Amino acid sequence: MNALHFTKPELLWLLPLALLPLISYGVKQFSFPGLEDWPKDILSDWLRWGVRALAAFTLAVLIIAAAAPFTEGGTVTKVGEGAEIVVVLDRSGSMSENLQTDNQSVSYKPVSKIEASRKVLLKFMEQRPADTFGLVVFNAAPISVAPLSSDREIAKAALKSAESNSSGFTALNRALAMGLDYFNGRPFSATRLIMLVSDGDAVIEKEDREILKNAFKQTRAKLIWVYVHAGVEKNILDSVIAGDNEIITNAEKQQVEMNQNVAMNRLFEELEIPYQAFEVNSEAGLQRAVAEIGRATNKPTRYEFRLPRQDYAVYLYALTLLLLGALFWLKQIEIKAWKA
């Protein structure tokens, strides 16, 4: 049984006032020559002390009600299907490029990478009522735009406002680290997922790789990279990069840039963390990738549900009204004058 708490415990110091009816008689008395020769009226004694006790109890209940007693609701463990998903969305300038399409219609409007990503992710959120979502966007610097919570509207509003913005260097490692920070201080009760939606074009330095590796292992999170490209970039799943990223000549620089996304994929694989990559070059492909992610995270999840606290003041006030009603009735039937 949960312990009883009080919102205003200082009012309990007034409880001794409830003893006043036991000290003061409180019932009308009449002068009479004497009743010593009359038999003892036990019923009257019981009634007299009963009325006093009723008045004392009424005061005690009123004081306790004013102190606002309550018990904590506690928590219950429930099992459901869902995950804790932090979307790390790339909003660099290259995300404004249009996706590939097979639609040859004249009225067809090209869709940019970030526009298609927003559209698909919003639909994904609507289809996942059991998940909690957070959002980090990044280009040259990461921005925490929506905390990890069950408030879906915050994440959706932040996602709708995400626009591509070219500002040079892409801070991928800091964006992933910020996304992992969302899990700190939270009980591990659900599948944890970092969903990176990006067209790549980023480099993670060697010293940062070890930091990310430790952070992923500490938070027990899985990384999924949805690699969105326009159909001209190098395929990350069928290619292998050799050598390092040292740039000496322009020709070597172009080769590195072409292989950079392949290097990112290889880097994520070498972090020794749960990792999966999806490569898409159209809105339909993006939808298929997100649907596959949804199926992969539909696993039984244990989570703590906090119950609301139970307040008792209203019940005590109702009881006080009933007791006052009884005292008022007793006062009404009291003899007002002694009839000789």
Segment 144-171 mean pLDDT: 78
CATH 3.90.1150.10 at 76-304, yes or no: no
* pLDDT at residue 242, rounded to an integer: 33
Higher pLDDT, 248 or 327: 327
Segment 136-145 mean pLDDT: 88
Q: What are the tokens at 32?
A: 């009479």
Q: What count of Cα atoms within 13 Å lies in the side-chain half-sphere of residue 108?
A: 12
- The yes-or-no verdict on residue 258 having pLDDT over 60 is no
Helix (H, G, I), strand (E, B) or coil at 94: helix
Q: Which of 257, 276, 290, 288 is nearest to 94 (CA)?
A: 257
Helix (H, G, I), strand (E, B) or coil at 76: strand
Q: Which of 182, 197, 178 is nearest to 289 (CA)?
A: 197
Confirm if 175 and 182 have CB atoms less than 8 A apart: no
* pLDDT at residue 86, rounded to an integer: 93
CA dist., res. 295 & res. 287, Å (int)? 12
- The yes-or-no verdict on residue 261 having pLDDT over 90 is no
Q: Which of 123, 119, 121 is nearest to 136 (CA)?
A: 121
- The yes-or-no verdict on residue 236 having pLDDT over 80 is no
CA distances to 149, 227, 289 from 231, in Å: 35, 11, 16
Confirm if 227 and 279 have CB atoms less than 8 A apart: yes
Q: What is the CA radius of gyration of the chain?
A: 36
CA dist., res. 168 & res. 315, Å (int)? 64
- The yes-or-no verdict on residue 30 having pLDDT over 80 is no
CA dist., res. 114 & res. 283, Å (int)? 10
**Identity at 237, one-letter amino acid code:** L
- The yes-or-no verdict on residue 16 having pLDDT over 50 is yes
Under the banding of pLDDT at 50, 70 and 90, the label for residue 79 is low
* pLDDT at residue 25, rounded to an integer: 62
DSSP assigned state of 236 = S
CA dist., res. 340 & res. 33, Å (int)? 12
Indicate the range of 56-60, 108-112, 158-162, 191-195 predicted with least confidence: 108-112
**What is this structure's pTM?**
0.58
Confirm if 187 and 304 have CB atoms less than 8 A apart: yes
* pLDDT at residue 74, rounded to an integer: 74
* pLDDT at residue 110, rounded to an integer: 77
Q: How many CB atoms lie within 10 A of CB 155?
A: 26
* pLDDT at residue 273, rounded to an integer: 86
* pLDDT at residue 248, rounded to an integer: 44
Domain positions in the chain: 4-73+309-332, 76-304
Segment 119-128 mean pLDDT: 86
- The yes-or-no verdict on residue 115 having pLDDT over 70 is yes
Q: What are the tokens at 175?
A: 């964006």
